[in-house]
Amino acid sequence: MSKAHASPLRSAFLALAALAAPWTLACRPEPASGEPSPPPARPAASLDTTLPDRFRPGFDPRSDALLTPRRGGKIVVHVEALPRQLNYLLDNSGVTRRILQELHGTLVARDLFTGAHRPQLAESWVVEDTLVRRDGRRLYGELVEQGAAWRVVPRSSPGHALGAAVDVAKADVARIERGTVYTFRLRTGLHWHDGAPLRVEDFLLTWRLTRIPAVRCDEKRFEFDHLVHAEKLDERSLRFFYDRQYFGAEAVFEALIPLPAHVYDLRDPAHPAARPDASDEELARHVNEHPANRRWIGIGPYRLVEFGDEYVEAERVDNGWPAEDAGWFDALRWRLITDDALAYRALCAGEIDFTSRLLSDDYFRASSDPEFTARAYVGHFYTPRASYIGWNLRRPQLADARVRTALALATDWDGYVQGFYRGLAQRVTAEWFDGGLDYDSELAPLPFDLARARALLAEAGWYDRDGDGLVDRDGKPLSVELLTQAGSRSGEVFLQRLQETFAQAGVRLEIAAVAWPVLIERVREREFDGVFKVWVVPIESDPAQRWHSREVGTGTANETSFSSPEVDRLIDAYTSELDDARRGATSRELQRRLYAEQAYDYGVKVPHKFGASLRLRNVRVGPVDPGFRLREWYFAE
Amino acid sequence: MRNLLGRSLRACATLLGLVAVAFVLLRLAPGDPAQLRFASADAVEAGAAAEALARFRAEHLLDRPLHVQFLHYLGPFDLGPEGHALFGGSGARPLGGLLAGDFGREYLRPDVEIASELLGRLSITVPLALVSALLAYALALPLGVWQGLRRGSAFDGWTRALALLAYSAPVFWVALLLQEGLGPTGLDWLPILGLRSRDAASGDVADLAAHAVLPIACLSYASIATISRQMRAATAEVASSDFVLAARARGVPERAVLWRHIVRNALVPAITMVGQVLPWLVGGSVLVETVFEIPGMGKYAFDSLQRREYDAVAACVLVSGVMTLAGLALSDFLQARLDPRVRDAGR
């Protein structure tokens, strides 16, 4: 057969095309055996995954020298959708995030490879603790234990309320909260793309907007719920206060992108239509409908020049951004191609320089495709995202953990990894980032074991009483419906196999492949037995939304309706723990509890399969979403 | 004048019915824009999604009964929270809806006015459709005449078989086939993505023409098959009629018989097909523009359907309806121009 593609429909038509028009077969050489070409060689396990160009054919970054970087050229990168707008507060889609990574900046940014936060628009920051006295007064500073007292030492300056260290008797202390006050000092010399200087007010505006319900930022608002106060200290310094100790506090400042107050804030004197008495509703409408949401004014080293129906384009701007991080390309273009198979062809044609969305079939055939290898090469990387099957615990037949475990044992994840992904995907056992400290790597994935699955089902009262091949109880066969998104090739392959293995365990599996909007609606309304999805996990994943009993209900992220007092306790301990080692221990205990329950059957960490132009240099890919930064790359010529 | 008025009223009634049907069907389809708006992982994490969903639905009247939503969409009074004071709104935006000339804004991109977006998209779709229609007629008419005059010949047999094949081949399949065969992974003769190469200047006509070849081919091949079949049948029928025989008997030169008697009369049914061809092309543009990533109205309709942008889809349906009616009016006009019997009957 000629080639495989995104969907069986597409494959079927191309198969018919090959039969109807033999000339299409003559267009491209195929392996003589008719078998798919072998996968490209995987890098040795010991090879540092941060090495640049490690997938480029013939280049060994350990011994070969990279070309001297030079400025110039326009890179065209594939995107699967265009953002609705570029105001991240209002549109926090993955595509927006990817584009703003080049066009904008935040107080702190995450290192692509280590995951650690580093200053970006902030020059530096100081973290202090809060001491809450029994009379309710709060003091902040570095808390140092001094026998029977706590010494509160002001670390941040200027504008610290204490001025000098203060001792408070432990008897007068109601509680202490670590890491709850953040004081930032901004870089100097940075300018918005319209030429106005970056100000403290720009950050305070964003924070203020998250507290106005009429601003359409419901996806982001929750992140700032516990950031209860913000203040300007001087022209370069600002301070934020948390109302609780929270392990993911620092990551919030990654999301707090500044908005130009002179453009968005009706109350800002620098705004051309400034009105100090503008109401919150007026301000919200002004922000929600502002033309700058699409004609974005950013602070990064590239400024937007076109936002059309086909692409978004930006060009280099000199706005004071540090030269070492200002990128090498003269222009960046994000080209919309909704069909990932078409992106492969576009890469072959030189219409794009990079895609991180190669289909598995295209990825594995690319190395034997001369049209492809003449222009590009393939590689892969992983960001924290995993496929899983989530079971609705409200369904009587799925309420028993033994049944769910049996279903997990009847799922051939390893076969899926070896078959569809040819070993490229990796098994995971929890939603935590498996490169992080919180992940329990000693927890082994459940094996594919039909005999054990059948035994567990029998133990739970499900066995074949009427000889029809299906296990039953109370006169009803064990039957489940699994929701999945229609048109997903990987989903179809996996679920067809799952149907077979479930049948071997005596379970009837019905597959409901539905459009994405329908899937969302049914999961939100809890009108499902099981759902097969891919979960994109933040580096600091807060498990409360998915597993805490207070989140049980319709429309929440606890889609399985999971509830366990012990798990609640562990989650509360986990999210308030700042010590990495102690939090790691709690996390591992939590994972073991969830693993035993099997409300989610975590499957595989899915690889991002990319294709890159041979002209590109210094292509590094890492584990932090989106896995790459265009600013590091450059063209060879 | 009376005839024109009657036709206009009938056209308005047809469009109203079309909009009503599209409106109801879209809202009865599963999935809703509010769910999609808050479908991202972050939104789900938010937990407060229920409130956000409720607010979004209230803002766009998605929580109101269907007839209220329809009256709001139809206009001329805005029934939303900021709509006409008579209907409980704040009065900030009293008028709105189709009858007020307002197609509304997108749900997910509230700064995008559907009318202006549609206008921009039509500036791509309409030229493509017109060129495809012209090409279809330019090829199908002589082919049909040739077939009709040589009925039963080997040429007639082969071309009829090809026409049947073309008529039955789904447009998206042909589009994929052409992409695969003539695109960069095949013979690499033609570009397959959009209407412009990455580094082409905006006025590069040759580049635009190269990009338009495959989409136009996909849009027009079925029309060529249909029109040529029609033309063949009409030519054969006219060629064997008595007045042609009489013309020949009178010694009229064969060229004049062909052009003045056969072709002119056989053209009538083929020309009236323009009323069908235009809507076909607009309908086909949904598939062709999606496969070739061309940002025209067809792709807009497809994307809007995926995103459950009800008003945008309804607007596309309405525009298609207007184009269909315009095509029918044009075919009536042309038929009247070509056939005096029709013209006289109208008097």
Per-residue pLDDT tens over the stretch A487-524 = 787 888 899 999 999 999 999 999 999 887 788 888 88
Interface touch B38/A309, C-beta < 8 Å: no
Across the beta sheet with A376-381, what order do the strands follow? Answer: A302-307, A311-316, A331-336, A74-79, A354-355, A608-613, A376-381
pLDDT of A366 strictly over 80 = yes
Place of tokens 């012209």: B134
A10 confidence band (pLDDT: 50, 70, 90): very low
pLDDT in the model for residue B110: 79
pLDDT in the model for residue A395: 96
pLDDT in the model for residue B346: 56
Which residues in chain B are contacts of A336 at CB distance < 8 A?
A: 293
Overall average pLDDT of the B268-276 stretch: 81
pLDDT of A628 strictly over 90 = yes
Which residues in chain B are contacts of A310 at CB distance < 8 A?
A: 194, 196, 293, 295
Overall average pLDDT of the A595-614 stretch: 94
Q: What digits encode the pLDDT tens for the residues B131-186?
A: 999 999 999 999 999 999 988 889 889 988 988 888 889 999 999 999 989 988 88
Residue A630 near residue A75 (C-beta atoms within 8 A)? yes
pLDDT in the model for residue A34: 36
Percent of chain B with pLDDT over 70: 94
Exposure class string for A588-619: b at 16+ Cβ within 10 A, else e: bbbbbebbebbbbbbbbbbbbbbbbbbbbbeb
pLDDT of B123 strictly over 50 = yes
* Rounded Cα–Cα distance for residues B96 and B79 (Å): 8
pLDDT in the model for residue A379: 95
* Rounded Cα–Cα distance for residues A2 and B101 (Å): 51
User: What are the CB-based long-range contacts (under 8 Å, 24+) for A318-326?
Assistant: A319/A190, A319/A191, A319/A192, A319/A193, A320/A189, A320/A190, A320/A191, A321/A105, A321/A190, A325/A301, A325/A631, A326/A301, A326/A631
**More confident call, A113 vs B124:** B124
* Rounded Cα–Cα distance for residues B175 and B217 (Å): 9
pLDDT in the model for residue A32: 35
pLDDT of A117 strictly over 60 = yes
Closest CA–CA distance from residue B158 to any residue of chain A (Å): 16
Which of A91, A222, A528 to mutate to test binding with chain B, by most B CBs within 10 Å of its CB? A222
Residue type, A291: P
**More confident call, A592 vs A90:** A592
Percent of chain A with pLDDT over 70: 92
A41 confidence band (pLDDT: 50, 70, 90): very low
Percent of chain B with pLDDT over 90: 33
Window B:187-246, CB contacts with A under 8 Å: 187-188, 191-194, 196-199
Nearest CA in chain A to B197: A351
> Hey, what's the torsion of the CAs at A78, A82, A88, A92, to 10 degrees?
-90
Window B:41-80, CB contacts with A under 8 Å: 41-53, 55
* Rounded Cα–Cα distance for residues B273 and B225 (Å): 12
Angstrom distances, CA of residue B53 to CA of A224, A287, A288, A633: 19, 20, 17, 41
Interface touch A21/B108, C-beta < 8 Å: no
- Selecting from A27, A293, A516 the residue whose C-beta is nearest the C-beta of B186 gives A27
Interface touch B186/A213, C-beta < 8 Å: no
> Hey, what's the torsion of the CAs at B138, B142, B145, B150, to 10 degrees?
-150
Interface touch A557/B193, C-beta < 8 Å: no
Q: Which tokens go with B113?
A: 């006015």
Q: What digits encode the pLDDT tens for the residues A371-427?
A: 999 999 999 999 888 899 999 999 999 999 999 999 999 999 999 999 888 899 999
- Average pLDDT, rounded, for chain A: 87
Among candidates A445, A402, A429, A440, which has minimal Cα distance to A589?
Answer: A440
pLDDT of A19 strictly over 80 = no
Interface touch B42/A220, C-beta < 8 Å: yes
Overall average pLDDT of the B198-224 stretch: 90
Q: How many CB pairs under 8 A join A and B?
A: 172
Which residues in chain A are contacts of B177 at CB distance < 8 A?
A: 13-14, 17, 21, 24
| B123 vs A: CB within 8 A | no
3-state secondary structure A22-69: CHHHHCCCCCCCCCCCCCCCCCCCCCCCCCCCCCCCCCCCCCCCCCCC
Task: Please list the residues that pair with A108 across neighbouring strands.
Answer: A119
* Rounded Cα–Cα distance for residues B233 and B143 (Å): 12
* Rounded Cα–Cα distance for residues B248 and B235 (Å): 16
Q: What digits encode the pLDDT tens for the residues B313-342?
A: 999 999 888 888 888 888 888 877 777 776
* Rounded Cα–Cα distance for residues B229 and B167 (Å): 10
Residue B310 near residue B33 (C-beta atoms within 8 A)? yes
Q: What digits encode the pLDDT tens for the residues A560-569?
A: 999 999 999 9
Q: Which tokens go with A573?
A: 């301990």
pLDDT in the model for residue A208: 96
| B324 vs A: CB within 8 A | no
How remote is the C-alpha of A478 from its chain's centroid?
A: 35
Could you say which DSSP state residue A325 is in? G
Nearest CA in chain B to A26: B186
**Angle of helix A450-459 versus helix A401-409 axis, rounded to 10:** 160
Q: Which tokens go with A466?
A: 């009427």
**pTM of the predicted protein model:** 0.83
Residue B125 near residue B298 (C-beta atoms within 8 A)? yes
Interface touch B184/A348, C-beta < 8 Å: yes
pLDDT in the model for residue B47: 52
- Selecting from B40, B170, B179 the residue whose C-beta is nearest the C-beta of A345 gives B179
pLDDT in the model for residue A144: 93
Nearest CA in chain B to A310: B295
Q: What ipTM was assigned to the predicted interfaces of this complex?
A: 0.79
Q: What digits encode the pLDDT tens for the residues A266-321?
A: 999 999 999 999 999 999 999 988 999 999 999 999 999 999 889 999 999 999 99
> What's the angle, vertex CA A312, arms to CA A309 and CA A317, rounded to 5?
150
Residue A103 near residue A148 (C-beta atoms within 8 A)? no
pLDDT in the model for residue A13: 35
Residue B167 near residue B226 (C-beta atoms within 8 A)? yes
Q: Which tokens go with B60?
A: 């766009």
Spell out the residues 6+ positions from residue A293 whose beta carbon is closer than 8 angstroms to its own.
Answer: A85, A86, A87, A90, A91, B111
pLDDT of B282 strictly over 60 = yes
Percent of chain A with pLDDT over 90: 64
pLDDT of B276 strictly over 80 = no
Question: CB count, 10 Å around CB of A127?
Answer: 16
pLDDT in the model for residue A386: 87
Which residues in chain A are contacts of B286 at CB distance < 8 A?
A: none
Q: What digits encode the pLDDT tens for the residues A246-261?
A: 888 888 898 899 999 9
Overall average pLDDT of the A173-182 stretch: 94
Which residues in chain B are contacts of A557 at CB distance < 8 A?
A: 44-45, 47
pLDDT in the model for residue A48: 61
pLDDT in the model for residue A225: 85
Which of A313, A521, A551, A560 to mutate to test binding with chain B, by most B CBs within 10 Å of its CB? A521
Spell out the residues 6+ positions from residue A162 whose beta carbon is closer than 8 angstroms to its own.
Answer: A139, A140, A141, A152, A154
Nearest CA in chain B to A545: B45
pLDDT of A1 strictly over 60 = no
Spell out the residues 6+ positions from residue B259 whose beta carbon is closer than 8 angstroms to its own.
Answer: none
Among candidates B228, B221, B195, which has minimal Cα distance to B299?
Answer: B195
pLDDT of A18 strictly over 70 = no
pLDDT of A22 strictly over 60 = no
pLDDT of A233 strictly over 90 = yes
Among candidates A120, A147, A145, which has minimal Cα distance to A131?
Answer: A145
pLDDT of A21 strictly over 70 = no
